[in-house]
Amino acid sequence: MMETALRARLLADAGVSALAGTRIDWGVRPQGTTAPCIVLTVVADSRSQHMAGFDGFRSTRVQIDCYALKKAQSVALREAVITALIGEATQSGVTFLRAFLNTVLDRGEQTETGFIHRELIDLNLWHDG
């Protein structure tokens, strides 16, 4: 499954894990999670097919939010994530081809407990799982 493999790929990357540790989750940032952390969200999962079935590889658009309390930390985490995911790799039985970076946005926000920096990465991941 791509979701499990993608999280494992980020956890296995020394640059990402040095900044976020194991704080990488799908869908929503767990209550009480300390920053820096990463939240992954599937935006679109196109599954091209032909009369005989699905094609071998497909493109999944994933939004990756990198949260940190300081701007420099969120930027460092953003760059570590991009470096970890842009190239080809195989993780947990899933083959990832080169990813394509759609956009990077600064989505920092004021919360009840203070300002949190959020760098949003939008990637298209080509994979077979």
Residue 54, SS3 per DSSP = strand
The answer to whether the beta carbons of residues 83 and 15 sit under 8 Å apart is yes
- Average pLDDT rounded to a whole number, residues 112-118: 89
- Average pLDDT rounded to a whole number, residues 98-107: 96
What is the pTM assigned to this prediction?
A: 0.91
Q: Where are the domains of the chain?
A: 2-127
Q: Quick one: DSSP state of residue 73?
A: H
Q: What is the pairing mode between strands 37-46 and 24-26? A: parallel
pLDDT tens-digit map of 59-101: 999 999 999 999 999 999 999 999 999 999 999 999 999 999 9
List the CATH code of the domain at 2-127.
3.30.2000.30
Q: Which pair of tokens denotes residue 98?
A: 């080169």
Which of 16-20, 47-51, 74-78, 106-110 shows the lowest per-residue confidence on average (mean pLDDT)? 47-51
Bigger pLDDT: 24 or 52? 24
